[in-house]
Structure 1
Amino acid sequence: MIINLKNGIDKLFFGMKQKDVEQLYGHPNKNFKDEEGNEIYLYYDKKLRLTFYADEEFKLGYIISSNAENTILDQKIIGRNVEEVKSRLPFKTWEIEDFDSTENHFNESNWLILQSEYNEIIHVEVGAIIKDNDEFDWKFK
């Protein structure tokens, strides 16, 4: 699954509504609301967690995936050494947060998180970009 930085992943684009996603992938295996009232869809076969923001008319704004076929700029990432992957990506600014056995490697300009455990990437998170005027840059119109 190709991760289209700043845009989405696979056929998904930030700004899609639930009905748009369901037309592509069908009904989710599981859905629920988080503590902020956002709608969460889980697609087991694609290893996707999709967040539709309640305060943005339930538009797709955040994606988490552990799909082994995930690629960023033609580079597979899941199961790979996080430092090796980062060294091959063209962006060099990373913030690192340590959570016991896992680390989040965050690149703000692409709203990209590579989560690693034992130095291997276990999942990737991508979010819709916020423009200068504090509004989301929705890619799906």
Structure 2
Amino acid sequence: MEIKPKIGFENIKFGMYRNDILEILGEPDRIVTDENDEFEQSLEWNDLKIRLTFQLDENDRFTYLTSKNEQTEFNGCKIIGLDIKKAKNELFSELITEWEIDDYQFFETHFNENLWLTLRSEFGKVIEFEMGVPFKNENEYDFPK
């Protein structure tokens, strides 16, 4: 599952409509509406170990990916299970020079706002990958063309 920062993953792009993605991935195993945002809904595929978030107020378009899929790759290198230092200092070093790190006692998040990309780590290894569509401004997504 090759990720493409600012674009999406595989042949799925940020901004695609839910129905188009369902034709590619099939029906999800679970649908969750965000209790804090009635316009945000996440679809989960258990076998793929991915969650895609859709903005209902943006015509039900794909805006965010969460993956624990061990086949998640960037430039041919698997991300899940990779040493967090290697992920940041080698794998993503050409794209990202600054990371915001939050320590939550038992895990850390490593976030880059320009790419809207997060690596979650535990015991020094990447356990989860997240990526969202970047913003043009505070109220507008920068969907790929």
What TM-score does the superposition give when structure 2 sets the normalisation length? 0.90
**Residues 94-137 of structure 1, C-alpha deviations (whole Å, 9 max, x = no match):** 00011121100001111110000111100100000111474211
Whether 1:128 and 2:130 are equivalent positions in the alignment is no
CA distance in 2, matches of 1:18, 1:9: 15
Whether 1:20 and 2:20 are equivalent positions in the alignment is yes
Structure 2 unaligned residues grouped into runs of 5+: none
Counterpart of 1:60 in 2: which secondary structure? strand
Query: Residues 86-97 of structure 1: matches in 2 within 5 Å?
Result: 86-88=88-90, 89=92, 90=94, 91-97=96-102
> How many residues align structurally?
140
The AA in structure 1 aligned to 2:73 is: T
CA distance in 2, matches of 1:108, 1:72: 18
Aligned match of 1:103:
108
CA distance in 2, matches of 1:133, 1:101: 31
Structure 1 unaligned residues grouped into runs of 5+: none
CA distance in 2, matches of 1:131, 1:73: 26
Aligned match of 2:33:
33
- Which segments of structure 1 move beyond 3 Å, counting only runs of 4 or more? none
**Residues 38-82 of structure 1, C-alpha deviations (whole Å, 9 max, x = no match):** 121001111110110123222110110011111122221101110
Query: Residues 58-97 of structure 1: matches in 2 within 5 Å?
Result: 58-88=60-90, 89=92, 90=94, 91-97=96-102
What TM-score does the superposition give when structure 1 sets the normalisation length? 0.93
CA distance in 2, matches of 1:52, 1:133: 18
Aligned match of 2:49:
47
**Cα RMSD between the aligned structures?**
1.4
